[in-house]
């Protein structure tokens, strides 16, 4: 048994997970208020995304990459240029992330555009060999920005991308063998939103020491019955960390994803 540090004092509830849209939290969260986050999140995002999107409009579009409208606060749909994807792979492909026998520190950068006013959130679930979290706080998103082992950190408001996560593979708890990266449409059911309204969804894995791309994946499959998408994952196989291009979606919100990956929800 591995002694896993826990930051929550009680199991997560559906009410707390649903109220994530009520306050942007700095630092660790308790499981009881993890859902009270989104309301303040969106008010805080208004100012920061406004300046970010101003920068995005000034950036040149990458050649041969399409640009579609995307989310903005204030009911405006703002497009964001897609960076050049240099080492693009297809859905289902797997590639090694190991370079010269070393485990680098990684940056997982994600982006998208939309044709409707969708607010898309990024989350990462740290899983064991059975595909479940090793504890209730072992998922990272805007309301819980660092994993208990300090290996995975959420970074909002990227210049070239929408959002990113920094991953130090040397710090990952030994019980974690996979990290799944998920995009979720906030309040999709309430606002009748889905991934048929999303485009240009990509993930790229960078070596954080030099910011060079190791691998990238852009999905071209968008369905009206999908509200969350597992865009990709890194996983440990024969002592080597690899990337898997997934691109599969489910009709679940964040609470449903927590249940799917074993976070206790009552």
CATH of the domain at 221: 2.60.60.30
266 lies in a domain?
Answer: no
Domain that residue 19 falls in: 14-260
What is the structure's pLDDT at 100?
54
What is the structure's pLDDT at 11?
52
Catalogue the long-range contacts made by 40-48 (C-beta closer than 8 Å, 24 or more residues apart). 41/142, 41/143, 42/73, 42/119, 45/73, 45/156, 46/73, 46/74, 48/156, 48/157
- How far is Cα 243 from Cα 169, in angstroms, rounded to an integer? 13
What is the structure's pLDDT at 98?
76
225 lies in a domain?
Answer: yes
What is the structure's pLDDT at 239?
86
| Ordered mean pLDDT values, 10 residues apiece, the chain (266 residues) | 34 54 40 46 45 34 36 62 94 86 85 93 96 95 94 89 95 97 96 96 94 94 96 94 96 93 86
Domain count for the chain: 1
8 lies in a domain?
Answer: no
What is the structure's pLDDT at 33?
46
* Predicted model pTM: 0.75
Task: Look at residues 213, 118, 120, 233 and name the one whose alpha carbon lies nearest to residue 160.
Answer: 213
125 lies in a domain?
Answer: yes
1 lies in a domain?
Answer: no
69 lies in a domain?
Answer: yes
């Amino acid at each position: 048994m591995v002694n896993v540090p826990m930051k929550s004092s009680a199991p997560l509830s559906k009410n707390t997970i649903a109220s994530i849209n009520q306050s942007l939290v700095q630092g660790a969260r308790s499981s009881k208020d993890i859902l009270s986050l989104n309301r303040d999140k969106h008010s805080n995002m208004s100012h920061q995304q406004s300046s970010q999107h101003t920068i995005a409009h000034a950036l040149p579009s990458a050649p041969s990459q399409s640009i579609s409208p995307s989310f903005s606060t204030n009911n405006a749909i703002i497009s964001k240029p897609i960076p050049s994807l240099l080492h693009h792979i297809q859905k289902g492909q797997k590639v090694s992330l190991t370079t010269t026998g070393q485990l680098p520190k990684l940056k997982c950068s994600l982006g998208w555009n939309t044709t409707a006013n969708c607010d898309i959130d990024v989350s990462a679930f740290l899983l064991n060999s059975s595909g479940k979290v090793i504890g209730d706080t072992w998922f990272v998103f805007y309301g819980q920005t660092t994993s208990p082992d300090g290996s995975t950190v959420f970074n909002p408001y990227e210049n070239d991308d929408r959002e990113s996560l920094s991953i130090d593979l040397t710090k990952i708890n030994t019980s974690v063998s996979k990290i799944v990266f998920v995009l979720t449409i906030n309040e999709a059911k309430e606002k009748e939103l889905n991934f048929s309204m999303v485009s240009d969804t990509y993930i790229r894995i960078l070596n954080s020491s030099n910011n060079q791309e190791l691998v990238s994946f852009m999905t071209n499959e968008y369905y009206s019955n999908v509200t969350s998408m597992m865009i990709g994952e890194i996983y440990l196989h024969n002592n080597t960390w690899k990337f898997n291009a997934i691109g599969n979606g489910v009709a679940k919100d964040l609470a449903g994803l927590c249940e799917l990956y074993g976070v206790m929800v009552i």
